[in-house]
């Protein structure tokens, strides 16, 4: 980036800076005058030391002088003016500058808007000079009609407006209402919060703005829309917008696939589950010297908050997040993640990095470029396959080292609850917190030696031990106790002596533990007030003793066995489940009359479980830990494998009853998953959990162990029956649950498991074929649930067991030629005569001939498009030699050569044979035309294709413009042609295949 500055001698200099060394600067926004009036880069390069202008460029130099003087007044040495800081004769530099423009304005300390058509003074009819309103001129200023000035208004944090007399009129903040009336842009957007607005909203702000070059109107919107497109002048406005929208869609897809959970929702849920965030219970940390050192010292980059279970670490971090949100600079970034061992979606290192990255990119979208480099090639699999951690860690490292990254705060709660790849995550935090100077970290965990050993490697860390701050924690717990007891006394109408007794007992036994207080108060909520004093004596101090007391209490209740099953099942589930899912998984709950009774059972387990929005959660990780360790024999009398086995045995019948074709009545084969809306009554309400996790429970039941091999035959029979009867419907269910990627991993696990089973060769073959089926077709099924029965069946090998088992679901309207290979590993047939890339194919209109052309004798370069005339007597070919030739289709004689000023990729004859429709317009031809004739090109036509066609993105076969069959990547055309019900497709490998679509018109 080049910046201007004035020396002490008044000499104007221009200096280049690397991206990671750009100083603070001001930037000018203005409307250009005539080209001869503006100062160019060449003018500065050729001018003398004082840059004395000629008269034509006087205004241009005045703008530069004004910008420099104003910058100096604002304490800024450097400033930027578009007319002269870019060498526009260098196309590569100009292209890069246009792509960087939004970022340059965004990073400017101040933006000065010079309004050459707005005067701060007017004269009245009596010619007496008076101060008068400039608002009408402001609102009608030419500056608000230009395309590029939209991003110059929105990108900078500080925008100041100046009149033609160089007088300051106000800034973007003080003039917000006036700018809003002029542009229609909402107040929030003018304050710099673009991320709160959809792309559609931002595009509407363009209004009737104009640009000198028609493509610029699209280029000027790219930064506002969070994307980056390289300028290609000459492509036209329509193509520029097509590329802009394409980049917007790609970014949306990338962010959607990156998002595995929403940490903001997790924070809200956690706060609600714990009874709300009490400000007075965490504010002590703001005055803590260690916290202040981390916050104020630029060398203190990592704060580790550590403490025993129930000490309030999570709520403390929730409070810190709230405080940072309100106190950090407007342009700073805040990203956080809450690990939770009881939820497989957020208990691993990969999920933590995905969550942090997603929050960062939504706040600073330019960072998405680091993800897009890999995502555009790999798609969603980038975030889910076996190498996800390796790739995401590399991407995250690049993001943290990006020179444009703004001041950033990263917070991860409960590292001890990161069950998968915790060591890798700790190593990453320790290393990156020592390297990235603009990033500050806060992490929390229990007092675990292995976590401490890993974090000791960090070079710029401080530790905040809750045990060493016992006095502050005790004071916070006392405030929490006071609030809880006040709530109880009000709700239960305690007498003063009862209230006092509860208050004193909690203060005496809490041991500075928030969770202990919360659990006791939860139990007292269901205790009659006449029994409170007696009940108090039964609450022992310490979490483990309290859990043991609660477990004994459950064991003595009438519903002891039902509660035990609920606790055992919830403890080994891979994510929190809804009440409906819990009923489906726990056998004894089936006998209850209604869901309200099930909620009561969960309430009986209230010291361990809690309900939020009809989803069952553990009150705390320590509650689950107690069940799995210290109460294991009581919770799992037959071992945890038996509970896994029970859930597996219950899962397949549930799925068999609920899964069928088109469960959401989508009907259209090309209906995208993002448009699927939940019914008021969800058909998969009870099936979502087993649909995703039945294989995991099977594997964790350890059926191949010596103890459980007696049930091998029964297990194998259930799996075999389910795959043969319901496999395709299960895949649709996975798509509707947005878990096809998880299904791919699950089938790999099932394949490994079945290989270890004795005498199950038949099942092994079926599972292997089913695994290949989902791996090959996961892209189509994931995006479009009903492609399970279209693309997936159509493009599977003929000997695929799944294809044979479900041939009744295969669309009878579609046939493929040449026949597909027999087995998954076989190649498709290759048509002879091609040694390289097939550029174009075409049917004769009588469907008797198919032409696929690479080079025709007479063209000096390769042919990229061919077409037959409607009477099938002539053939047209377009070549990279910038010519179109007309051939006699019977003998190959060249009848005409038409000189075209460019390369054509799509040509076709009109029905009369008198012109060619092309991608640049209609070219008039004549049978009597002379060779090397010059052609006249009319306005481009955009015909609406009916019946069978290939979509413009080459991903779909369509019928009447509706998506019909998704094409696997190796079947996608480098060229295609249509004749009636037949589609001929040439692909990059040199193969050509045919598809016939039979539809009865109604």
Q: Is the pLDDT of residue 85 over 50?
A: yes
pLDDT for residue 937: 37
Residue 921 near residue 900 (C-beta atoms within 8 A): no
3-state SS, 358-378, equals HHHHHHCHHHHHHHHHHHHHH
Summarised one tens digit per residue, pLDDT across range 706-727 is 555 556 788 999 999 999 999 9
Q: Name which of 211-220, 237-246, 850-859 the model is least confident about.
A: 850-859
Q: Strand 129-131 relative to strand 302-306: parallel, antiparallel, unpaired? A: unpaired
pLDDT for residue 871: 77
Please name which of 560, 300, 327 lies closest in space to residue 439, comparing C-alpha atoms: 300
Q: What SS3 state is found at 899?
A: strand
pLDDT for residue 712: 75
Task: Please give the residue that has the higher pLDDT: either 881 or 339.
Answer: 339
The mean pLDDT of 192-196, rounded to a whole number, is 78
Summarised one tens digit per residue, pLDDT across range 510-548 is 988 888 998 899 889 888 989 999 888 888 888 888 899
pLDDT for residue 841: 66
Confidence bin at 881 (pLDDT 50/70/90): confident
Looking at the structure of the chain, the number of domains it has is: 6
Q: Provide the 10 A C-beta neighbour count for residue 487.
A: 13
The mean pLDDT of 661-679, rounded to a whole number, is 91
The mean pLDDT of 674-688, rounded to a whole number, is 89
The mean pLDDT of 493-503, rounded to a whole number, is 93
pLDDT for residue 684: 93
Q: Is the pLDDT of residue 633 over 60?
A: yes
Summarised one tens digit per residue, pLDDT across range 549-573 is 889 888 888 889 999 999 999 999 9
Q: Residue 1000 CA to chain centroid, in angstroms?
A: 41
Q: What SS3 state is found at 635?
A: helix
Residue 546 lies in a domain: no
Residue 479 lies in a domain: no
Rounded Cα–Cα distance for residues 359 and 344 (Å): 20
Does residue 705 sit in the same domain as residue 676?
A: yes
DSSP string, 401-418: T-TTPPSEEEEEE-GGG-
The mean pLDDT of 976-999, rounded to a whole number, is 82
Confidence bin at 275 (pLDDT 50/70/90): confident
Confidence bin at 127 (pLDDT 50/70/90): low
Q: Is the pLDDT of residue 10 over 50?
A: yes
Rounded Cα–Cα distance for residues 500 and 508 (Å): 12
pLDDT for residue 644: 95
Does residue 866 sit in the same domain as residue 939?
A: yes
Q: Provide the 10 A C-beta neighbour count for residue 170.
A: 15
Rounded Cα–Cα distance for residues 86 and 77 (Å): 19
DSSP string, 679-728: -SS-TTTTTHHHHHHHHHHHHHT-TTSTTTGGGHHHHHHHHHHHHHHHHH
The mean pLDDT of 283-311, rounded to a whole number, is 93
pLDDT for residue 48: 45
Give the end of a domain, one of 610, 637, 664.
637
CA dihedral 716, 717, 722, 723 (to 10 degrees): 60
The mean pLDDT of 24-44, rounded to a whole number, is 88
- Tokens 């790849």 sit at which residue? 421
Residue 475 lies in a domain: no
pLDDT for residue 727: 97
pLDDT for residue 538: 86
pLDDT for residue 1001: 52
Residue 464 near residue 304 (C-beta atoms within 8 A): yes
Does residue 321 sit in the same domain as residue 436?
A: yes
Confidence bin at 826 (pLDDT 50/70/90): very low
pLDDT for residue 899: 74
Confidence bin at 590 (pLDDT 50/70/90): confident
Task: Please give the residue that has the higher pLDDT: either 785 or 986.
Answer: 785
Q: Name which of 47-61, 859-873, 969-983 the model is least confident about.
A: 47-61
Confidence bin at 931 (pLDDT 50/70/90): very low
Mean pLDDT of the chain: 86
Q: Is the pLDDT of residue 349 over 80?
A: yes
How many Cα neighbours within 13 Å face the side chain of 123?
5
Angle of CA points 433, 435, 440, to nearest 5°:
35
Q: Is the pLDDT of residue 921 over 90?
A: no
- Tokens 């998704």 sit at which residue? 966
Preceding amide of 818 cis, omega within 30: yes
Q: Is the pLDDT of residue 263 over 70?
A: yes
Does residue 626 sit in the same domain as residue 773?
A: no
pLDDT for residue 994: 87
pLDDT for residue 825: 56
Q: Name which of 185-199, 219-233, 731-745 the model is least confident about.
A: 185-199
Rounded Cα–Cα distance for residues 956 and 962 (Å): 9
Residue 547 lies in a domain: no
Does residue 146 sit in the same domain as residue 211?
A: yes
Summarised one tens digit per residue, pLDDT across range 156-177 is 999 999 999 999 999 999 999 9
CATH of the domain at 572: 1.10.10
pLDDT for residue 635: 93
Residue 615 vs residues 90, 338, 576, 618, 963: alpha-carbon distances, Å: 61, 18, 7, 10, 37
Give the end of a domain, one of 771, 795, 811.
811
Task: Please give the residue that has the higher pLDDT: either 180 or 56.
Answer: 180
Residue 816 lies in a domain: no
pLDDT for residue 125: 43
Please name which of 155, 208, 157, 164 lies closest in space to residue 182, comparing C-alpha atoms: 208
Task: Please give the residue that has the higher pLDDT: either 843 or 89.
Answer: 89
Please name which of 463, 457, 384 lies closest in space to residue 423, comparing C-alpha atoms: 457
Buried b (16+ CB within 10 A) or exposed e, 842-862: bbbbeeeebbbbbebebbeeb
Summarised one tens digit per residue, pLDDT across range 640-652 is 999 999 999 999 9
- As a whole-number percent, the residues of the chain with pLDDT over 90 amount to 53
Residues 6+ apart with CB under 8 A from 237: 214, 215, 217, 218
Q: Is the dihedral of CA 47, 51, 52, 56 positive or negative?
A: positive
Strand partners, 962: 959
**What is the end-to-end Cα distance of the chain in Å, rounded?**
63
Residues 6+ apart with CB under 8 A from 90: none
Pull the structure tokens for residue 897.
Answer: 């050569």
Does residue 78 sit in the same domain as residue 145?
A: yes
Residues 6+ apart with CB under 8 A from 867: 842, 875, 876, 907, 908, 909, 916, 977
Please name which of 857, 918, 848, 932 lies closest in space to residue 890, comparing C-alpha atoms: 848
Does residue 446 sit in the same domain as residue 298?
A: yes
CA dihedral 751, 755, 759, 763 (to 10 degrees): 10
Summarised one tens digit per residue, pLDDT across range 393-417 is 999 999 999 988 989 999 999 999 9
Does residue 76 sit in the same domain as residue 153?
A: yes
Q: Strand 110-114 relative to strand 159-162: parallel, antiparallel, unpaired? A: parallel
Q: What SS3 state is found at 114?
A: strand
Q: Is the pLDDT of residue 861 over 90?
A: no
Strand partners, 760: none
Pull the structure tokens for residue 392.
Answer: 């995401």
CATH of the domain at 378: 3.40.50.300
Summarised one tens digit per residue, pLDDT across range 754-794 is 988 877 889 999 999 999 999 899 889 999 999 999 999 99
Q: Is the pLDDT of residue 154 over 90?
A: yes
- Tokens 């995502």 sit at which residue? 375
Does residue 734 sit in the same domain as residue 587?
A: no
Does residue 891 sit in the same domain as residue 761?
A: no
Confidence bin at 124 (pLDDT 50/70/90): very low
- As a whole-number percent, the residues of the chain with pLDDT over 70 amount to 90
Q: What SS3 state is found at 944?
A: coil
Conformational region of residue 913, where left means phi above 0, alpha means psi within -120 to 50, and beta covers everything else? left
Q: Is the pLDDT of residue 933 over 50?
A: no
Q: Is the pLDDT of residue 69 over 60?
A: yes
Residues 6+ apart with CB under 8 A from 571: 618, 624, 627, 628, 635, 640
H helix count then E strand count, the chain: 36, 34
Give the end of a domain, one of 637, 665, 700.
637
Q: Provide the 10 A C-beta neighbour count for residue 283.
A: 14
Residue 309 lies in a domain: yes
Does residue 876 sit in the same domain as residue 741?
A: no
Summarised one tens digit per residue, pLDDT across range 212-239 is 899 999 999 999 999 989 999 998 888 8
Summarised one tens digit per residue, pLDDT across range 783-793 is 999 999 999 99
Domain with 853 in it: 840-997
Does residue 622 sit in the same domain as residue 667?
A: no
Rounded Cα–Cα distance for residues 38 and 67 (Å): 14
Q: Name which of 88-92, 340-344, 455-459, 835-839 the model is least confident about.
A: 835-839
Residue 677 lies in a domain: yes
Q: Name which of 28-37, 65-74, 734-743 the model is least confident about.
A: 28-37
Q: Name which of 29-33, 216-220, 627-631, 706-710 the model is least confident about.
A: 706-710
Rounded Cα–Cα distance for residues 98 and 230 (Å): 8
Residue 752 near residue 722 (C-beta atoms within 8 A): no
Please name which of 851, 857, 962, 963 lies closest in space to residue 907, comparing C-alpha atoms: 851
Q: Name which of 47-61, 231-245, 738-752, 896-910 the model is least confident about.
A: 47-61
Confidence bin at 612 (pLDDT 50/70/90): confident
Q: Is the pLDDT of residue 753 over 50?
A: yes
Confidence bin at 838 (pLDDT 50/70/90): low
Residue 931 lies in a domain: yes
């Amino acid at each position: 980036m080049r910046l201007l500055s004035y020396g002490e001698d008044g000499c104007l200099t221009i200096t280049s800076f690397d991206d990671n060394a750009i100083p603070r600067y001001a930037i000018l926004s203005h409307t250009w005058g005539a080209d001869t009036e503006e100062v160019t880069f060449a003018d500065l390069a050729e001018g003398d030391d004082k840059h004395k202008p000629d008269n034509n460029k006087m205004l241009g130099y005045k703008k530069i002088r004004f910008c420099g003087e104003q910058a100096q007044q604002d304490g800024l040495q450097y400033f930027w003016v578009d007319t002269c800081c870019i060498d526009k004769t260098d196309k590569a530099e100009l292209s890069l500058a246009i792509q960087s423009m939004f970022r340059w304005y965004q990073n400017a300390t101040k933006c000065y808007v010079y309004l050459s058509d707005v005067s701060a003074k007017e004269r009245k009819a009596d010619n007496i000079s008076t101060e008068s309103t400039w608002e009408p001129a402001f609102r009608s200023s030419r500056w608000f009609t230009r395309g590029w000035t939209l991003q110059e208004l929105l990108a900078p944090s500080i925008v100041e407006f100046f009149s033609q007399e160089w007088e300051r009129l106000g800034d973007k903040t003080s003039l917000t209402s006036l700018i809003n009336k002029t542009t229609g842009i909402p107040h929030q957007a003018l304050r710099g919060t673009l991320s709160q607005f959809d792309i559609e909203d931002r595009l509407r702000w363009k209004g009737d703005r104009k640009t000198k070059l028609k493509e610029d109107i699209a280029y000027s919107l790219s930064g506002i829309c969070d994307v980056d497109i390289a300028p290609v002048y000459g492509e036209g406005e329509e193509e520029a917008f097509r590329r802009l929208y394409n980049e917007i869609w790609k970014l949306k897809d990338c962010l959607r696939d990156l998002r595995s959970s929403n940490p903001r929702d997790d924070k809200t849920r956690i706060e609600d589950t714990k009874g709300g965030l009490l400000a007075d219970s965490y504010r002590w940390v703001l005055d803590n010297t260690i916290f202040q050192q981390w916050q104020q010292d630029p060398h203190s980059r990592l704060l580790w908050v550590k403490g025993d279970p129930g000490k309030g670490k999570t709520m403390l971090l929730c409070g810190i997040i709230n405080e940072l949100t309100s106190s950090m600079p407007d342009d700073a970034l805040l990203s956080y993640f809450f690990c939770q061992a009881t939820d497989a979606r957020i208990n691993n290192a990969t999920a933590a990095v995905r969550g942090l990255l997603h929050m960062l990119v939504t706040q600073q979208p330019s960072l998405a470029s680091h993800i897009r480099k890999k995502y555009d090639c790999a798609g969603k699999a980038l975030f889910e396959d076996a190498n996800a951690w390796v790739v995401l860690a590399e991407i995250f490292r690049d993001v943290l080292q990006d020179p444009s990254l703004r001041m950033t705060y990263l917070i991860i709660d409960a590292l001890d609850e990161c069950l998968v790849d915790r060591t890798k995550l700790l190593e990453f935090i320790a290393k990156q917190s020592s390297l990235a100077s603009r990033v500050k970290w806060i992490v929390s965990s229990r007092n675990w030696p292995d976590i401490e050993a890993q974090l000791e490697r960090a070079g710029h860390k401080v530790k905040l031990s809750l045990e060493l701050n016992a006095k502050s924690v005790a004071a916070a717990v006392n405030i929490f106790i006071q609030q809880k007891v006040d709530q109880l006394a009000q709700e239960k109408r305690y007498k003063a002596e009862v209230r006092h007794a509860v208050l004193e007992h909690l203060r005496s036994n809490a041991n500075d533990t928030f969770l202990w207080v919360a659990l006791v108060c939860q139990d007292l909520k269901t205790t009659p007030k006449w029994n409170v004093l007696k009940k108090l004596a039964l609450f022992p101090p310490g979490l483990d003793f309290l859990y043991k007391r609660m477990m004994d209490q459950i064991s003595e209740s009438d519903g002891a066995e039902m509660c035990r099953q609920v606790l055992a099942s919830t403890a080994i589930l891979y994510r929190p489940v809804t009440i409906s899912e819990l009923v489906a998984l726990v056998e004894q709950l089936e006998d209850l009359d209604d869901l309200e009774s099930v909620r009561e059972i969960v309430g009986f387990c209230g010291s361990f479980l809690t309900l939020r929005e009809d989803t069952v959660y553990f009150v705390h990780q320590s509650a689950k830990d107690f069940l799995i360790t210290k109460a294991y024999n009581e919770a799992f009398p037959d071992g945890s494998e038996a509970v896994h086995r029970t859930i597996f045995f219950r899962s397949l019948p549930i799925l068999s009853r609920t899964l069928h074709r088109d469960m959401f009545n989508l009907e259209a084969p090309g209906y995208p998953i993002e448009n699927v809306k939940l019914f008021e009554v969800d058909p998969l309400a009870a099936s979502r959990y087993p649909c995703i996790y039945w294989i995991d429970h099977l594997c964790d039941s350890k059926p191949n162990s010596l103890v459980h091999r007696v049930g091998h035959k029964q297990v194998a029979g259930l799996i075999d029956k389910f795959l043969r009867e319901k496999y395709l419907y299960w895949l649709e269910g996975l798509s509707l649950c947005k878990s096809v990627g998880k299904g791919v991993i699950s089938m790999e696990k099932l394949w490994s498991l079945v290989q270890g089973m004795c005498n199950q060769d038949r099942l092994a073959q079926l599972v292997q074929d089913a695994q290949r089926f989902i791996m090959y077709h996961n892209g189509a099924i994931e995006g479009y649930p009903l492609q399970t029965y279209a693309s997936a069946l159509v493009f599977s090998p003929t000997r695929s067991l799944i294809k044979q088992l479900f041939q009744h679901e295969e669309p009878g309207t579609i046939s493929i030629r040449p026949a597909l290979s027999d087995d998954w590993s076989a190649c498709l047939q290759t048509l002879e005569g091609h040694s390289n890339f097939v550029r174009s194919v075409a049917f004769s209109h009588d469907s008797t001939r198919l032409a696929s052309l690479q080079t025709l004798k007479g063209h000096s370069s390769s042919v990229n498009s061919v077409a037959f005339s409607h009477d099938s007597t002539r053939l047209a070919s377009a070549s990279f030699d910038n010519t179109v030739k007309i051939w006699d289709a019977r003998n190959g004689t060249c009848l005409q050569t038409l000189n075209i000023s460019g390369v054509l990729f799509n040509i076709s004859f009109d029905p009369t044979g008198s012109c060619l429709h092309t991608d640049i317009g209609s070219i008039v031809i004549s049978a009597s035309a002379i060779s090397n004739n010059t052609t006249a090109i009319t306005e481009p036509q955009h015909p609406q294709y009916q019946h069978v066609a290939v979509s413009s993105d080459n991903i779909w076969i369509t019928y009447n413009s509706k998506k019909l069959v998704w094409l696997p990547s190796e079947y996608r055309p480098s060229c295609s042609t249509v004749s009636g019900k037949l589609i001929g497709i040439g692909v990059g490998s040199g193969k050509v295949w045919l598809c016939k679509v039979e539809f009865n018109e109604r």
